[in-house]
A and B are shown apart, each in its own frame.
Chain A
Amino acid sequence: MGENEIVAALKRGDLSVVEDIVGLYGNRLLRSAYLLCGNESDAQDLVQDTLVQAVQSIHRFRGDSSLYSWLHGILLNLSRHYHRERKRLVQGHDFDSQPGESVSDEASRLDLESVSPVLMEAMRKLSEPHREILVLRYFEEMKLDEIARHLNISKGTAKSRLHYAAESLRSLIPKELNLFGDSGTD
């Protein structure tokens, strides 16, 4: 079943297509959600909330982007909300007293087999806008103008944010791992 049929069915209130949406976009949303929030079970909740909200507000989908990209926009909003809530909870309970130790310190002990925990840890340590834009560019593989539209920022802002986000990510990963294959160039 194609995107147009799914949207038309939802607009008629036919919920049988929810299964098709999950089949088509569910796992992709889940993986993106995981990269955005850093936790698999919260990622599932985010996807569930995304789909619920999408079905409930399907009348607002006008088709000026793909259905997936519209869903991803909802996911992004929910993940921002998720991070705000977590910050609020953490501050409320005074849990944020651990200083942000640098990944490089702990990572320098790790060998190449532990690349993925190092990368995920680094992703978690990024600021939210930096993490978001890296996920959009390097996981969702969006072009610059799509990113700008998706985040509702100018292309210029998107460029400089991409630049700083990539530099922050590099700085959080030990050079010895040579994760990006260019440790000789800087």
Chain B
Amino acid sequence: MKCSQCQDLLFEYLDGTLPSASQASVQEHLRECSSCRTVFEREKQFSGSLPGLLGEQTVLMELPPQFHQKVLSRLERDAHPVLKGDFSWFEQCAHAWAGVAAIAVLMFSIAALFVIRDSLGQRAVCFSKAAFYRLPGVAVLPRRCLSDQPGYDRVGKPSPGLWPGFDLAVPPSSVVNLEPADL
């Protein structure tokens, strides 16, 4: 047996998965060849120490108790794909209602904003209190209103996802008291 053949069988030899004839000829070659013996010894030492080191590294690691519950609720959620995220049943309900409410508000807002837009033709400032929607601390307003109304702080750049012609802005408190524009 050549050295290259012998070393090619290194892992199978150590695994004990070689046919007995090959196993024997590797053994015989190793008795005579010190350089192959060195290679085999090196691998034996490596495989004798790395598993222990990796084991030590991880032996204290354990899944939290009730981990299976997390798996089960994920499975349940995947079966009802509307609700995603790591929430309890109660939170899921709350989120569902919040979602419904948000969609309702959004639909109302879109309708109202289009009304404003239609009426924008003649006057720069033409919004009414009813047409200004407060997200927490933020309002969605027609861009022309913002540019024409002193005292507005724009929030950064116009948000690209927003309807064209509208900006997110932090309204000065005075805006709340604006009367409907005279149309």
Contacts and interface: CB of A to CB of B under 8 A. Distances in A.
Interface string A17-61: 011011100110011001100001001100110011001100000
A19 B53 CA distance: 29
Given A19-B68, A47-B63, A51-B71, A181 B54 contact: no
A145 B16 CA distance: 11
Contact of A40 (B43, B49, B61, B75): B61
Given A181-B45, A182-B42, A22 B57 contact: no
A115 B74 contact: no
B121 interface: no
Contact of B55 (A47, A120, A139): A139
Say whether chain A's binding surface is mostly helix, strand, loop, or mixed.
Answer: helix
A138 interface: yes
Say whether chain B's binding surface is mostly helix, strand, loop, or mixed.
Answer: helix
Contacts of A9: none
A45 to B, nearest CB: 10
B50 A185 contact: no
A166 B46 contact: yes
B139 to A, nearest CB: 31
B54 A35 contact: yes
Contact of A34 (B41, B61, B71): B61
Interface string B29-62: 0000000001001110111111101111111011
A116 B56 contact: yes
A22 B71 contact: yes
Interface bracket on B: 35 or more
Contacts, number: 108
Interface residues of A, number: 46
A135 B53 CA distance: 12
Nearest to A47: B63
Given A18-B68, A144-B17, A182 B57 contact: no
B17 A48 contact: no
A145 B8 CA distance: 14
A118 B22 CA distance: 39
A141 B47 CA distance: 9
Contact of A35 (B17, B57, B64, B75): B57
B67 A182 contact: no
B12 interface: yes
Contacts of A110: none
A180 B45 contact: yes
A136 B67 CA distance: 25
Contacts of A109: none
B100 interface: no
A55 to B, nearest CB: 6
Interface of B: 8, 10-12, 15, 17, 38, 41-43, 45-51, 53-59, 61-64, 67-68, 70-72, 74-75, 78
